[in-house]
Amino acid sequence: AQKITQTQPGMFVQEKEAVTLDCTYDTSDPSYGLFWYKQPSSGEMIFLIYQGSYDQQNATEGRYSLNFQKARKSANLVISASQLGDSAMYFCAMREKSTGRRALTFGSGTRLQVQP
Amino acid sequence: DVKVTQSSRYLVKRTGEKVFLECVQDMDHENMFWYRQDPGLGLRLIYFSYDVKMKEKGDIPEGYSVSREKKERFSLILESASTNQTSMYLCASSSPGGQGSTYEQYFGPGTRLTVT
């Protein structure tokens, strides 16, 4: 079974508008972390935001916020005031802490295109 | 800033060749990872190392081996390259973590390998 599901292969958004990228996850581990990474066309993976399973508040980092709905097992990334430079692939990832697995499990990604 | 470097951005090899992909990190991280990225599949873990000379198989280790002789360097080896190993290869590193750690992974720029 897919551990991380990103159902939107591609998304378009107008510059200056907000956009939500969907991510659902599947785990029975009560202790886990959720990550979002951005991958521009140059290829490097850029860490954006992190949410721990026990964190009470939704994580925010500048224009990025994570809409964490634990009961629904969703961790959507919200980008406010989109910029042309936000055009990239976005990956949701999870680390299950109790298993001892140190690697991340990634979703298939969403390609975001910001239009002027 | 953490820096993870990979020896080549682009590599073209012939079927049957032995291929070495090198990764170096400068943050004294214990953990290093090799992922493979393919369209529609996200990133998949090939191998992981948590210390010098220590390694663990990831989700897709077949056809690959690794070497970690020094803490800062983690090599991925394709013993006999095949066309189905044409892909983007990403190296990452992270600290061992601890209380409050996010276990964030820092990525290199990637190596796009083509096997003909």
> Per-residue pLDDT tens for A64-78?
999 999 999 999 999
The Cα of B78 is separated from the nearest Cα of chain A by a number of Å equal to 21
The Cα of A67 is separated from the nearest Cα of chain B by a number of Å equal to 18
Say whether A33 and B102 touch across the interface (CB within 8 A). Answer: yes
* Contacts made by residues B47-51, CB under 8 angstroms, sequence distance 24+: B47/B76, B48/A102, B48/A103, B49/B74, B50/A102, B50/B96
Q: Per residue in B43-87, pLDDT tens? A: 999 999 999 989 999 999 999 999 999 999 999 999 999 999 999
Residue located via tokens 């010098």: B52
Between B99 and A82, the higher pLDDT residue: A82
On chain A, the residues whose CB falls within 8 A of the CB of B108 are 44
Q: Per residue of chain A (116 residues), give pLDDT as tens.
A: 569 999 999 999 999 999 999 999 999 999 999 999 999 998 889 999 999 999 989 999 999 999 999 999 999 999 999 999 999 999 999 998 887 778 899 999 999 999 99
- What is the C-alpha separation between A20 and A10, in angstroms, rounded? 12
Residue located via tokens 């999870």: A94
Contact A82, A11 (CB under 8 A): no
Sequential DSSP letters for B54-105: EEEE-S--TTEEEEEEETTEEEEEESS--GGG-EEEEEEEE----TT-----
Provide the number of CB pairs (under 8 Å) joining chain A to chain B.
Answer: 55
Contact A92, A7 (CB under 8 A): no
- pLDDT at position B104 is 83
Contact B76, B89 (CB under 8 A): yes
In 3D space, the residue among B30, B38, B42, B23 whose CA is nearest the CA of residue B112 turns out to be B38
* Contacts made by residues B27-30, CB under 8 angstroms, sequence distance 24+: B27/B2, B27/B3, B27/B93, B27/B95, B27/B106, B28/B71, B28/B72, B29/B2, B29/B71, B29/B93, B29/B94, B29/B95, B29/B106, B30/B71, B30/B95, B30/B96
Structure tokens at A63: 């224009």
Would you call A42 an interface residue with chain B, using a CB distance cutoff of 8 Å?
yes
- pLDDT at position A105 is 93
B-facing residues of A in 77-96 (CB < 8 A) are 91, 93, 95
**B89: number of CA atoms within 13 Å, CB side?**
32
- pLDDT at position A84 is 97
